Homo-oligomer: A and B are copies of this chain.
Amino acid sequence: MSDKTFSELLNWRYATKKMDPTKSVPQDKVDAIIEAVRMAPTSSGTQPFKLFVVTNPEVQEQIKEAASGQTPITDGSHLLVFAAWDNYTEERIDYVKNLNIEGRGDIPLIHQYYDNLKAGYVPREAEVNYAHAARQAYIALGFAMVAAASLEVDSTPMEGFDPASVDQILGLKEKGLRSVVLLPLGYRDPTGDWLLPMPKVRKSRETMVTIID
């Protein structure tokens, strides 16, 4: 872990626009970032998304083409693709229920909880369920970015891509998944990044926060 403070890490990180293609994130750091995604909390513990870790240069190249040519996708060593469930189904929720029973015992509360969840979620429109699943992926995205920063690994969150193309490149539709957000991992190229020298811009605390005391 970095010896920077948490606040320093949040200032150090930025949406890296130019990564150094000669540098690769070591496997132990990639593993720690993946672990942060896996440990991120999600609604009812459903973890309603999958994570794709793309290191294949040809696949990275295809995804870059579907993302207006943004170079961190190929200059980074690892591309994370967060792909949310296209819907909540009986099978998917039962899988989570069984995982809870395995871990915590076959207790009535677990059955009751997930049976209620199925009754609530499964009849809803797929689009509503997908939107809910996608939000959960964004929690994990947040965890991944903080984890990367804590290891002084750069990352670039990207929504600017054609989801249908990325879904096709990774065969997501057949798996009942939809690509939500991309996160290339790598190392900044300090000489080539126009954004790096620019001050970070954030709203003031006064603008963003309301205290109700």
Within 45-80 of A, Cβ neighbours of B (below 8 Å) are at 45, 47, 50-56, 59
Judge whether A147 is part of the interface by a CB distance below 8 angstroms.
Answer: yes
C-alpha gap A53/B208 in the complex (Å): 11
Report A186 CB to chain B, min CB distance, Å. Answer: 16
Report A108 CB to chain B, min CB distance, Å. Answer: 13
Check if B210 sits within 8 Å of A53, measured CB to CB: yes
C-alpha gap A81/B170 in the complex (Å): 36
Q: Which residues of B contact A50 (CB under 8 A)?
A: 208-210
Contact of A32 among B7, B140, B213 (CB under 8 A): B7
State the majority secondary structure of interface residues on A.
Answer: helix
Report A14 CB to chain B, min CB distance, Å. Answer: 8
Q: Which residues of B contact A138 (CB under 8 A)?
A: 135-136, 138-139, 142
C-alpha gap A152/B207 in the complex (Å): 27
Q: Which residues of B contact A112 (CB under 8 A)?
A: none
